[in-house]
Structure formats: C-alpha cells, structure tokens
Chains A and B, each alone.
Chain A
Amino acid sequence: MKQLTLATVGALSVAASTLSTAVQAEDLTLCWAAWDPANALVELSKGFEEQSGHTMNFEFVPWPNFADRMLNELNSGGKLCDLLIGDSQWIGGGAENGHYVKLNDFFDSEGISMDDFAPATVYAYSTWPKGTPNYYALPAMGDANGWFYRKDWFERDDIKAAYKEATGDELGEPKTQKEMLQIAQFFQGREIDGKKVYGAAIFTERGSEGITMGVTSALYPWGFKYENTPGKYDMEGAVNSAESVEALEFYKEFYETATPPGYTNSYMGESLDAFKSGQVAMAMNWFAFFPGLYADADTGGDKIDFFVNPPQNNAGSTLGGQGISVVSYSDKKEASLEYIKWFANPEVQAQWWSMGGYSAHNSVLNSETFPDSAPFAGDFLLAMENVQDFWQEPAYAELLLAMQKRVHDYVVAGQGTAQEALDKLIEDWTEVFEDEGKL
C-alpha cells in the first residue's frame, strides 16, 4: 500500500511538473538582421530551448531594410519581437521612447554584472544616457569595421617585386591609412593571372548607413570628434576640423583611384562579392563576416588574412555590433528575460564565440587562448580597444541620413568640397538638435 501511495505521489508530481512546464512554455520571437551570425544564433539557441522548454522563433531582416523594418515595428508598438538585437545607435531612441525594458533591476536580481563585459561594448550597446549605469541591453555581438586582403597575392614574389619597384616599400599589411591607399592604388587595374583586378572594396552605399560607416573608418583615425565637449553638441571645429577635412578628402581619393568601376552604391554584400569573385586585393567589412570569409573554399583559408583598420594620427575603428534588448510591448517579458539570463552565462558566451558569434564577455575575450583562436581574433581585440560609434541620440536616424547625404554628395557625386560637406553637415545636425531642444 505504501509503495502504491509513493508511486501515486510520484506520478502526480511528474504530471504536475509537466503541466507546470507546459503552462509556462512560451513561443518567443527574436528579431535581428539576416547575416551569418544570425544563423549561428539559431543553432546556439537550441540549447536554451532544451533547457527552458520555451520555443524560439526568429525574424531576420536583410541589413538594408533592417532599420526601417524594426524601427517601424517599435514605433508602432508592435508585438512581433519579444527580443530584439537592435543596432547600437538605436539605444537612445529605444530607451527614451520606451521601446526597451530597463534591465538594471533584472541584472541586480540575477547577479548579472556589466563588469563582466568589455567596457567599450557596455558603453556602446547597453547604456543610455551614454556612460551612465542605466542598462537597456546586454552586449550580444561585438563588432567593428575591419579589413581583409588576398594574402596569396601579397606573398607572391613577382607582385612583391613589382610593388617594391613601384613604391620603394615592402608589400605587407598596411600600418597606416595612407599606406593602405598606396597598396590599393598599386593593385588598381593590375593584371593578375590574366584577370584585371582592383585595389579595394569600400563602403559607398547611399540608402541606409553604408557610406557613413565607410567614411568614419577614415575620419576616426584622423582624430574626428563629434563634439568639442562631450554632451554639449558644440560641433563647430570638431566635425569640420582640418583633420576631418583631410580624412574626407582621403576617402574620396580612395574611392576615385582604388575601387572597382561602378562601385557607387556598395555596402556589405558588394564588398563580400567583390572579394570572393577575385576582383579586389583588399576589402573593408564588419568582423562579423570574417569567420565566413575564412571558411570560404575559394578565397578563404591560406588565401586570406585580416587586419584592423589602420591608424593615421591615432588608432580608430568604426563600431558595429549590437546589444540584445527585451521589447517593452512584448507579452512574454518573463520568458524573454530568461533568455537574456541564459545568454549572459559565460559558458554560453564561450559557445557563442566558437560558433561564429562575437562574444563581448570578458571571460571569452580575456582568455589566454582567445587571440589565437581565429586568424582575426587578435585584430578584433585591437579594434575593440579603439572603437568609436556614431551618434546614439534618439534622433539618430535624422543625423545619419544627413551624413549619408552630405558625404555621398561629396565623395561619390563629386559635388562641392570636403570643407563644404562637413560645414553643411554641422548645419543639418544643428537643426536636428534644435528641434530636439538640445541646442
């Protein structure tokens, strides 16, 4: 009888726990851009599904439409996404417009410390107002704009000799921006294995953020600053400084003398295509793509190598990457927070890096084995030490589109001078900040 009672109690307990799991199990939707790391995240999240009983769904939007699609979703209070890996520049709008859940209390209650993540990523992806301990996202994907090149071409004796003869320098990974231009110009129009090749693929896209991300990769190493005094929006003399003008002129020269013909509206996809098709010697792109590039059967492996955005007056890389936030309009906030908690786990973070995602967790980045764990890992660490991001203001879209227009007008369309482009940019940005009541 006692055994029967125990068996009955046991069976009831199992049934109750099953029922409990069934009641709590949720269908969560995570929104992000459609790119290589997103596929890795799908695989990674299977671990969460097994552990929690929740089901993960994914909504991935191609990069050129990602901001439009997701910001529309947030602005309309949509419930499509429970979790959103939104671009770093959205953090201001996400926080001020109430789109993102503030995570401080949750982090405190779960023992998640922002000190465990790389400071640059916490600053850029999580905090609003900038640098204050108000967290609206967990750093999810560290990223920066870097470079990759045809190592097999750089190592060929005939090409090295030709470079030496043409420039007097040794061909190798460029140490400065100007050296990089020199190398790109050397390859421009050169015939290699019977095929005409070009210098480098850079960002020139007009519609979303492309040319701004490319141009800032030149501006930051020249010492570009958005403000003279942080938080004062005093841009005169900073945005249009002599160094900024020189950097913008440099980018235009790069575009005109060292890129493939017809390269007037190109971003990530075009850069990858140009490199994989053997059209260019070098290309700029986000570190997120580097694992895929290295694995490429035709141009990866021994044929490719990577380098951090070269310095000029100082080191500087354009920040990419995103934090993961809980959308405040979601009906499944509890389950979404569970995902964040699971994702913050150091073991999951280590797995994330091994699968192709760029963890921002110190336990991964500071590990002794990290710099040698991939051919681009050391460069990634270097890049993250000197990253700079675009404005992260709530009005970031207006600020971005103004810059897209001004720099595209100058660099690609050849209208006006670099000084005029930056002066006009200040006028545009001033108008935006006046509308925002910040000036």
Chain B
Amino acid sequence: MASERSPMGAINMSDKTIDRLAGATPVRVARKIKGLSDRAIAWIFVGPTIFLLLAVNIFPLIWTINLSFTNFKANRLNREVEYIGLRNYERILGDSDIWLSMQATAHFLFWTLFFQVLIGFTLAWLINKKFKGNDLWTTIIVLPMMLSPAVVGNFWTFLYQPQIGLFNYIVTFFTGADPSSFEMLGSVDLAPWSIVIVDTWMWTPFVMLICLAGLRSIPDYIYEAAEVDRASKLRQFFTITIPMVLPFLMLAVLFRGIENFKMFDLVVQLTGGGPGSVTEMASINLKREAFEKWRTGYSSAFAIILFVTVFGLASIYVKALNKVKER
C-alpha cells in the first residue's frame, strides 16, 4: 500500500488510496455515515467486538462470581437457590483433596516445564547447527505436537501396558527387570511421572520451535565480534546465546505453563486421574464437581480461585518477561 509517514510519525495514506477506498464504499452506506463523527464510526466498528467480548467473556465471569456465593446446582433447577456467603470458598480452601489436586497440578507443571525447556532448548541448539538433513529432522521432531491429545493418550496407554507395552520392554531391555513387574499408569509412584513423560514427548517440539526462532534471530555479527574479542564458545553461549534467547524461552514457558495448568484431555485418557487420585489435576477435579456432581456454586468458587491463581501468576510472569525484554 502506498503510504507516507507524516512529520508526527502517523501514517498517511496517499490521496489515490483514499479515493479508491471511498469509491468502494456503496453510495447508500456513504450517505448514511456522512455526518457521523470519527468517534461514532469507530464505535460502529468496535461495538460488535466489545458486545461479543462482554457476552462471551465478561458476563459469564460475573455470573460465575455470583454463582460462587450460592448453593446452586444446575441439575436441581426446581430447588431454591440460597446465598451462602463465602462458605464455598471456605470449604474449598479447607478441603485436603483440593490441595492434593493442586499439588498434583504443581508437580505436573513444574516437571513438564523443566524437561520441555531443557530438552526443547537443547534440540533447538542442535538443530540450529547447519548440518545435512537439518530440515528433515526438524519435521520429524515436531510430529508429536501435530497429533490430537486423545490419540496420544490412547496410544501411550498401550505403550505403557505392562504385559505387551513397548515402553516396559524398552525399560526391561536396559534394566533386565520383568516387564510386568512395574506399572507406569497403575503405580502411585510412577503414574505422575508417566504423564510428565507423555506431555514432554508431545510438547517439547513446541518449545524447541520457539527457541529455534530465538536462536535464528541472533545476528551472526555478534558472534563474529565475540570471536574477534577471543571469547570462548562457553562464554559466547552464556553471554550472547542465553540472554538473547531468554525472552523467547520465557514466552514458551508462559504458553506451556498456562496450557498445563488447565491440562485435562491427555491425563483423562491416560489415567483418568488415578490410581486413586494421584494424577487428579485441578481441572479434572473441577470438571467432576461441575458436571458430574453438579455442585455448580461450589465449582464456580473453585473456578474463580483457579482463575485468580493463573491470572495472578501470569501477570507477575509477564512483568518479569517485559523486564527481560527491556534489558
């Protein structure tokens, strides 16, 4: 588009473009909006979006906050709804099962982020080296993240099967243990790790791609200057590569962190929250409360607590990210 920058920095379109756009406006519409202020026209365009935002996001949020102070049950519409103050919040915060599910979520979140960042960055660093077949390896590595979580959950269930599963046989090959002697999905100790392994397998490529973008955005001349200054490779890595990739890495952590905080599908497919409740994430617990037990008021309060937690953590994190970018 032909444009020119005004002294004030605003972009002015050429007269030719304005004439073309004006000419494309139907006469009837042009007549109707003639006489409207710029502000009014702006509202006409922005209005539908704001309305949708209010209807789809803000209203449900306010409604959920309202419900969280009641004993409402969506399957008992003929029952009188009572306002019970902060009772739902008190119950949730004093419920040891809720804290166990938060603990399971934290375990999953921490270790998946740890492994995905570690392996994702390492893979990106290796892929960034120019070598033959580089593109082919990139394609192969990103394949898992293209699959549906339901499919991944299903086939890993088979891989983890103690009698016929490939995973157990591979472990057996290296350790000599009987394949049936351990159950990845059925053991209280191993099940939390089994879901970490699957999520890491599936989403490490995503972190790798973001890191790769960061690595490729570092201009070569910086490394060349470092070479001239006789900086060692290790020094270059810690003083150039890491600081310049850090904003990208933090962005990947933010995306994966938010996704994994609300992890549901993969874990339901793999363990259903079991054995017992050791892999029952907060999101699975919330779904059970809301749509299986139908404790709508209670689950609304739980949803608000989760929302505030994610929103609070994400806000702090984004501030940190912006500081890193500014450096």
Chain A interface residues (CB < 8 Å from chain B): 68, 71-72, 75, 93, 96-98, 205-207, 260-265, 394, 397-398, 401, 405, 408-410, 412-415, 435
Contacts and interface: CB of A to CB of B under 8 A. Distances in A.
Contact of B275 (A260, A261, A408): A408
Contact of B185 (A262, A398, A408): A262
B273 interface: yes
A341 to B, nearest CB: 29
A262 B274 contact: no
How many B residues are at the interface, by size bracket?
A: 20 to 34
Contacts of B277: 405, 408-409, 413
Contact of B292 (A93, A98, A265, A401): A401
B311 to A, nearest CB: 29
Classify the interface of chain B: helix, strand, loop or mixed: loop
A90 to B, nearest CB: 11
B185 A68 contact: no
B272 A207 contact: yes
B97 to A, nearest CB: 8
Contacts of B273: 206-207
Q: Which of B161, B186, B276, B291 has the most CB of A within 10 A?
A: B276
B233 interface: no
Interface in B275-305: 275-278, 288, 291-295
Contacts, number: 86
B155 to A, nearest CB: 15
Contacts of A415: 188, 276
Contacts of B162: 261-262
Closest 6 A-B residue pairs measured CB to CB? A413-B276, A264-B186, A409-B276, A262-B162, A206-B274, A261-B180
Interface in B120-153: none
A47 B273 CA distance: 45
B294 A75 contact: yes
Q: Which of A96, A262, A263, A412 has the most CB of B within 10 A?
A: A262
B295 A260 contact: no
23 contacts: A68-B291, A96-B78, A97-B77, A98-B78, A205-B272, A206-B272, A260-B163, A261-B162, A262-B180, A262-B183, A262-B185, A265-B275, A394-B76, A401-B292, A408-B277, A412-B274, A412-B275, A413-B188, A413-B274, A413-B276, A413-B277, A415-B188, A435-B71
Nearest to B287: A68
Contacts of B76: 97, 394
